[in-house]
Structure 1
Amino acid sequence: MTKSDMTAQEWKEKGNEEFNKNNWSEALNCYTNALKLVKEDNAEKAIYYKNRAAAYLKLLDYEKVIKDCDNALEICSNDPKALFRRCLALEASERFEEAYRDARNIILSDPNNKSIQPIAARLHEIVQERHKEMSRISAKVSQMLDLAFDINMDREKRETAMNNLLVLARERAGAEEIFKQKGVSKITKFVKVEKNEEIICNTIRIIGELCKNNISRTESVIRDIGVPWFLEMINSKLAERVNASQYCLQIILNTYSGMDNKPDSKPDKTLCETYKKEIDTILSCLLYSITNRTISGLARDAIIELIMRNIHYTALDWAERLVELRGLQKLMEVASEMEEYKYESSMDITSSTRTITSVCLARIYENMYYDAAKERFRNAIDEFIKDKLLTPDIESKVRIVVAITTLLLGPLDVGNAIVAKEGILEMILVMAGTDDLLQQKVACECIVAVASKKDKATAIINQGVNILKKLYQSKDDSIRVRALVGLCKLGSSGGTDATIRPFADGATKKLAEACRRFLINPKKEKDMRKWAIEGLSYLTFDAEVKEKLIEDQQAIQAMIELAKTGDQSVLYGVVTTLVNLCNAYDKQEIIPEMIELAKFAKQHIPEEHELDDVEFVNKRLCVLTKAGVTSALVSLAKTDSHNSRELIARVFNAICSQQEVRGIIVQQGAVKALLPLALDGTTKGKKQASQALARLGITINPEVAFPGQRMMEVVRPFINLLNQECSALENFESLMALCNLAGINDSVRKRILEEGGFHKIEAYMYGDHDMLIRAATQVMNNLIMCEQTIQYYEQENDRIKYLVILCEDEDQDTSIAAAGALAMLTSVSKKACEKIFDSKNWLESLRFLLANPNCDVQHRGVVIVLNMIRSTKDVAAKLIETDIMEILMALSKNDMVENKQIRELASTALDAAAEWNLIKKNVDENESTESTSNIEHVD
């Protein structure tokens, strides 16, 4: 009978068989198939739900247990089994009052049920204690509200009270009590007259905690105080308050959409549909605020970041909706603003505003998934440019060029398409050639941005290089530095190819020296140093420039200090320079046959400079790390630009390749920055960050490298490296790091299994790469300390058979790991002891282990045999029939065996066989004899 012919009842019976074999996942699939075949609600369907709930319970998926039990109880109310399973799942989810309710219902319907009585007693005690705690919390909340909102109270006491309220708001009971005591209305009324910014920040945070994961409270908050209150709170020049308000708004969006702040979080479609109106209202308010002339630059940045985080298809998918609401035109208005150019209707912006805007525009364009959407995006941009060109004054031209520059830093293709339009590039070059400083400045910036593509760089070399040289002679430093960067960018158009030099020999070194002077001069404004580092980001493609820069401690320190400010406008320059210094860019694989073919075809062959050899690169990596580059990367990693995050991850991974500096990297906070980089961003960026974390986890004790909760959080990045798209080195380093993690405690081991680690790790044990087989077996050896892993080996499969084979592996470390795994398995599982006989070569493997010259291998072999003899009489009898007893006898008596423990274990194994009455002890010598006449066989 094929699976498609099976009835629901047959699927249920098959599920029961798998369940009794401890094959929970297979049982789950069978019950699911049974449910698919039943359309109407009936008693049988309720059974399928109950059974599937039992499988989910074994797999620790408590939410699904509760859901399936709910469905079963809708059909058959007060069903004891459904109530019992739901009770266990609710208790595990810390929903104690609901669990106690189910326990009481079971006792009411079945007073003699002994299984539920101890659970009910335990839950009764917990519920009583929680009730007392609630009474204490209620009094505490009341006291703190009175203290916090008493204007006459001492400032320090009020701040302490507000901090205590925030702590209470983070607990479910505390949040409910604050809400019950009308804390929201008190907070919002009070904020209007409060002048203490620390207290205001905490009030905003409290509102956020009250809204977190609670729809009813969120609806009440929005109804009572409205979105404008949050926009009023975010409008501040204090970063702490702006961040608190931004976080609070994101929490509200998350609650409406079912997301959280984790990088891999996805919205709940049903929730999004239910609260579409509320979510759209928030988007509209945010969009309106982007061009609000009365808000602070920090607030504007935070609002744009909020929009950016929610436009991706895995979030709220706002991209197309934003275009419909003319959001692109508003963003382009911001993109055309200049910090240093103020006029009557100008907006307040920060040094990071245009960078954040360019990233936001890029993210929107990335989410235009089909041609028609992309066309609407381009049309909106064209419309903005045309509107500005209709006004022929200088201000409009300046704003157009600034907006184009911002576009070129974001959706490059759209920016290049604008530049390619008739007259635009000519207008930029004409502005660069005027005597007006403002026009020169913005034109220079645009030329630098335009030269990103080689064909555009060639056009500018032909048309504008003389203009740039002329501007470099300007008396105004801000013009000179921009012209310098333009020349640097054009001079680096050959990339890492040492044979291509657009300018005369020595020109790049002179340009680098000029950039250095701007960079290290403390008298220069930060804006000029920012441009200097951008110039170096292009020049450091040249290996000679890299070597000269790395030896210049003053310049390196100036660059790192600039990066530590966290200013997003310096991001590209610093990170690109670091990527070049570390040689952390993608390198094209050079195949000798292709080189010969290229020579024959007289094609150009790129050449790498001798100063980019491994020893020079490694030296640069160590110098940068010791200079404090990690702190700089941590500051810059807060960006939302996926491309920049990838570059940062590349630098992190490069410096983590040097074992001697990994301790410094951890000390300077790399792990906290690497975790989000490993979970969110480009595919390459995530791989680079994950590998960097793995390298730290290999060398440094995981408890030191990943303290507290981070030890759980790094599991997923390591598991993500276990796929065929990653290199063997990435696979190996991930397995090594997982091995160290799995040796820490059972919670970590369970997390590895929850993330699907078991099957991925096991796959490498069956591979053909010796190092990967060894590493995977070592991880499995540590994972076997977890009960759930043992269940995988007890199921109907050949896993133990393969471990027996691996015990004889030529690689000694693989043999030790496999034997160690078997030793632990056989110590706790009688079934595992029996399954060893499934292997045809079980006897040869045991002989190999017992007679091995390596005492570690031999020790594990004796433990396995001892465990087998102790397990059951049948297993012991099967061993006695072989020459294993003779080997044990020899080991127990042989003084040549250096390890005393091995001799003692061998003797203990013989005693264990005697206890089964399978062998008799020699009366004279009080030791086991080895002749078959002394063995008693049992029927």
Structure 2
Amino acid sequence: VEVMFKEGVITRIGKLLKVEKNNEIITNAIRAVDGVCLKNADRTKQVIRELGIPWFLQMLDSNVEDRVAATQHCMQTVLNAISGMENKEDSKPIDALVKENQQIIDTLLSCLLYSVTDRTITGMARDSIMELLIRNVHWKTLNWAERLVEVKGLLRLMEVCSELEEYKYESAMNITPSSRTIAAVCLARIYENMYYDQARERFTEQIADFVKDKLLTPDHESKVRVTVAITSLLLGPLDVGNTIVSREGVMQMILVMAQSDNLLEQKVACECIIAAASKKDKAKGLVQTGAEILKKLYTSKNEEIRVRALVGLCKLGSSGGLDASIRPFADGSTKKLAEACRRFLVKPGKDKDIRKFAAEGLAYLTLDAEVKEKLVEDRAAIQGLIELAKTGDQSALYGVVTTLVNLVNAYDKQEMNPELIELAKFAKHHIPEEHELDDPDFVAGRIVVLANEGVTAGLVALCKTESDNSKEMIARVFNALCSEQEVRGKVVQQGGAKVLLPLALNGTANGKRHAAQALSRIGITINPEVAFPGQRNLDVIRPLMNQLHPDCNSLENFEALMALCNLAAMNESTRQRILKEQGLSKIEALMLEDHLMLARAATQVMCNLVQSPEVVERHEGDNDKVKILALYCEEEDEETAKAASGALAYLTAVSERCCEKIFEISSWLDVFHTLVANPSPEVQYRGMVIIRNVIKMSQKLATKLLDTDILQMMYGVTQLNDERRAKAIECAHECLKLAEQSRLIREEADSDMAPDVFKQQGATLEEIND
């Protein structure tokens, strides 16, 4: 890169792209600039000086997806290089570097912000610019949110939120179906950074000024635009949206627009009512005022109005949530609404916008268990939902993913304390009731149906979203799918494991936990080489390690350990990555857990980890690691004893010090007794291997061991007539042969030493009979 840079590659690329028309060449040239800027602040600053910031914006202005994505990545690389950030989770900028390059950072982000409302750029470029702002304004990154508010950036984002495809004239912005959604996410991201009252007030005031300015304009277009903008606010920074809606006259204006004869006004008013009914108390108020208006609109001849009115009715009708006892509308009306949504979803020739709203209606109605069962039985409706998801349209994301979350019951349930329930009954307080169709058997059935219909492919397409909450919902659905062992193969086959990795590393805390648990479940039943090919088998280790955190429940710990056990068995690279992620200390802590299954799983991971020379070295140190394994050989649980004895068998094969450490335990003889006389053939075999290793490693230790009754017990093992113990018997013969070769025992003493175990057994039986 340095040689190319010194030879003037940037200048040549700049000249080439002034005349080049082939998009493939342009895209590759942009990627070359990206490579030059990567992790080098000096080169990056030189690139900015030579090409100029407008060059990047010019390259971004395209309808070719690869070119836009390459330019977006290049601009992020530039910001990373001059701030010290990386494209990794929890990557933070270097303060000294940011301070040094603050002017360039401010200029670059300001240019991006001003380009948001550029009327000449493509919709795809506008979306990419807003995505760059989403990634860089947060206080954890470049901390530019307050600066954005200062330079009136919120007004520009609100302009995008208020843009309508129906109003097309020369100065209209080009937008995509996802533009308003991305702008809403950007506003929400900025509002997250308003962490003190004064900043929040400034944010709300700027939004209120925009709304006021539009409302004071007498024409109908301004009223429509402000309603669309308020809808976006209710989908983004909800608190600000609710503040604006609750101001005098705003909701009344929206309800009046819903009753007008203008179809566009009816349409945007319906969408705003849907968004406004976001909280139970607000929905309750709208049931009285808005329901009649929505019912009237549902009789409209225009399908776009009907489907929006339908979604509004669905949302108001589902305001009881999961509580089966609350029915805002008459019994049976929920099923009728669901059937109406289904018709819009599956009817051939319907445009994507109508199907999107039908999916959103189902998102609310599928809180009802009866609707869930009816929908899952309808293969055409499920396919319609999945096909809508495969489009990757961000504005359809909420409806599709929420419906899927409801179908697989992937939401958090509040655990009910029996004592509090009795107290509530005594106080005659309402107690939520769960529907019988939400029992685990019914949920499992729905999961299998969805997986067989190919829901994973739809979820993979929707993973491109920048919204952390949406990522969390997608992760919840994936986790629910992976809870059923029989469908995990389909999840991997359709690309689920690949998209789960970024979901497990970026997003909300809950989202990362669900994605990591889904990865654990995949890693348990599917060969890691198939589930996580190539570099992915190393990348998956970090999210699995996060599952070993004390905040995670026992099931999450256990599943992560099982997956790590399979990964540790793969190769030395995976074992080294586990050690690098501080895995050894976490696994050792879990080995000492009181929970049998956790202790067993942790011991099994350790059994595979000891194949690493570094782990052997740590066991040789001045600690009790070998002692713990030796004592676990005496465990009643066969699987734990098997894993512990397996680990000891490997350690004693490669390390004389580990052999010595066994004899430093006060009860070392009891350990050997348990191993040699173990009822489990597998544990007994491992015990014989440990003895063989001790004899090979040290004559001194072998003498100490064979001076005890262990020698007689080994002779006893050689006389056993049990096919299941064939390996242990063969190993016992090897041990005796090695002992003879080392002159630890005399060959002629064999017959004297060997007790006739069959004669003893017969005598014991006679004694019992007497």
Band of TM-score, shorter chain: over 0.9
Matches within 5 A, 1:98-117: none
Matches within 5 A, 1:826-837: 826-837=652-663
1:352 paired residue number = 178
In structure 2, distance between residues paired with 1:432 and 1:928: 103
Give the conservation status (yes or no) of the 8 Å contact 1:911–1:928.
no
Q: CA deviation at 1:792?
A: 2.1
In structure 2, distance between residues paired with 1:928 and 1:863: 25
1:816 to 642, 648, 660: 642
In structure 1, distance between residues paired with 2:695 and 2:424: 68
1:921 paired residue number = 746
Stretches of structure 1 lacking an aligned partner (at least 5 in a row): 1-174, 932-939
1:301 to 110, 127, 147: 127
1:53 paired residue number = none
Question: Is 1:279 the equivalent of 2:105?
Answer: yes
In structure 1, distance between residues paired with 2:215 and 2:539: 52
In structure 1, distance between residues paired with 2:247 and 2:752: 97
Q: CA deviation at 1:570?
A: 0.1
The DSSP-based 3-state class of the residue aligned with 1:337 is coil
Match of 1:714, as an amino acid? V
Residues 888/256 of structure 1: CA separation in 2 closer, same or farther (3 Å cut): same
Of 435-444 and 334-343, the range deviating more from structure 2: 334-343
In structure 2, distance between residues paired with 1:344 and 1:389: 23
Q: CA deviation at 1:214?
A: 2.1
Give the conservation status (yes or no) of the 8 Å contact 2:545–2:581.
yes
The DSSP-based 3-state class of the residue aligned with 1:338 is coil
1:111 paired residue number = none
In structure 2, distance between residues paired with 1:315 and 1:796: 43
In structure 2, distance between residues paired with 1:906 and 1:520: 70
Give the conservation status (yes or no) of the 8 Å contact 1:428–1:443.
yes
1:153 paired residue number = none
1:691 to 517, 525, 534: 517
Question: Is 1:659 the equivalent of 2:489?
Answer: no
1:221 paired residue number = 47
2:345 paired residue number = 519
Matches within 5 A, 1:233-272: 233-272=59-98
2:673 paired residue number = 847
1:576 paired residue number = 402
Question: Is 1:473 the equivalent of 2:299?
Answer: yes
Matches within 5 A, 1:173-572: 175-572=1-398
1:745 paired residue number = 571
2:470 paired residue number = 644
1:889 paired residue number = 715
1:711 paired residue number = 537
2:614 paired residue number = 788
Of 628-637 and 175-184, the range deviating more from structure 2: 175-184
Give the conservation status (yes or no) of the 8 Å contact 2:488–2:522.
yes
Match of 2:486, as an amino acid? E
In structure 2, distance between residues paired with 1:832 and 1:568: 58
Match of 1:612, as an amino acid? D
In structure 2, distance between residues paired with 1:909 and 1:276: 72
Match of 1:675, as an amino acid? L
Of 315-324 and 663-672, the range deviating more from structure 2: 315-324
1:39 paired residue number = none
Q: CA deviation at 1:338?
A: 1.3
Give the conservation status (yes or no) of the 8 Å contact 1:263–1:679.
yes
In structure 1, distance between residues paired with 2:129 and 2:417: 49
Match of 1:540, as an amino acid? T
The DSSP-based 3-state class of the residue aligned with 1:354 is helix
Q: Return the structure number with greater relative CO, CA threshold 8 A, min gap 6.
A: 2
In structure 2, distance between residues paired with 1:834 and 1:570: 65
Give the conservation status (yes or no) of the 8 Å contact 2:89–2:505.
yes
Matches within 5 A, 1:77-116: none
1:130 paired residue number = none
Match of 1:862, as an amino acid? M
In structure 2, distance between residues paired with 1:291 and 1:838: 75
1:131 paired residue number = none
In structure 1, distance between residues paired with 2:491 and 2:722: 48
Residues 194/927 of structure 1: CA separation in 2 closer, same or farther (3 Å cut): farther
Of 748-757 and 422-431, the range deviating more from structure 2: 422-431
Match of 1:791, as an amino acid? E
In structure 2, distance between residues paired with 1:279 and 1:206: 22
With structure 2 as the length reference, what TM-score do the two structures score?
0.95
The DSSP-based 3-state class of the residue aligned with 2:52 is helix
The DSSP-based 3-state class of the residue aligned with 2:19 is coil
In structure 1, distance between residues paired with 2:751 and 2:139: 74
In structure 2, distance between residues paired with 1:684 and 1:639: 17
The percent of aligned pairs where both chains have the same amino acid is 61
2:551 paired residue number = 725
Deviations 1:604-641 (A, max 9, x none): 11111111111111111111111110000001011010
Give the conservation status (yes or no) of the 8 Å contact 2:716–2:754.
no
In structure 2, distance between residues paired with 1:767 and 1:266: 35
2:629 paired residue number = 803
Of 702-711 and 308-317, the range deviating more from structure 2: 308-317
In structure 1, distance between residues paired with 2:550 and 2:165: 48
Of 342-351 and 698-707, the range deviating more from structure 2: 342-351
Of 814-823 and 210-219, the range deviating more from structure 2: 210-219
In structure 2, distance between residues paired with 1:405 and 1:378: 15
Match of 1:804, as an amino acid? A
Deviations 1:416-463 (A, max 9, x none): 111111111111111111111121111111000000111111111121
1:767 paired residue number = 593
In structure 2, distance between residues paired with 1:870 and 1:810: 29
The CA RMSD over aligned residues, in Å, is 1.7
Q: CA deviation at 1:894?
A: 4.3
Matches within 5 A, 1:129-148: none
Give the conservation status (yes or no) of the 8 Å contact 1:575–1:647.
yes
Match of 1:247, as an amino acid? H
1:873 to 682, 692, 699: 699
Q: CA deviation at 1:296?
A: 0.7
In structure 1, distance between residues paired with 2:742 and 2:197: 78
Q: CA deviation at 1:211?
A: 1.1
In structure 1, distance between residues paired with 2:722 and 2:608: 31
Deviations 1:106-139 (A, max 9, x none): xxxxxxxxxxxxxxxxxxxxxxxxxxxxxxxxxx
Q: CA deviation at 1:666?
A: 0.4
In structure 2, distance between residues paired with 1:393 and 1:444: 20
1:606 paired residue number = 432
In structure 1, distance between residues paired with 2:389 and 2:670: 62
Give the conservation status (yes or no) of the 8 Å contact 1:921–1:929.
no
Give the conservation status (yes or no) of the 8 Å contact 1:850–1:887.
yes
Q: CA deviation at 1:911?
A: 4.1
In structure 2, distance between residues paired with 1:687 and 1:344: 48
1:679 to 494, 505, 508: 505
With structure 1 as the length reference, what TM-score do the two structures score?
0.79
In structure 1, distance between residues paired with 2:707 and 2:749: 23
Match of 1:741, as an amino acid? L
Q: CA deviation at 1:289?
A: 0.4
Deviations 1:125-175 (A, max 9, x none): xxxxxxxxxxxxxxxxxxxxxxxxxxxxxxxxxxxxxxxxxxxxxxxxxx2
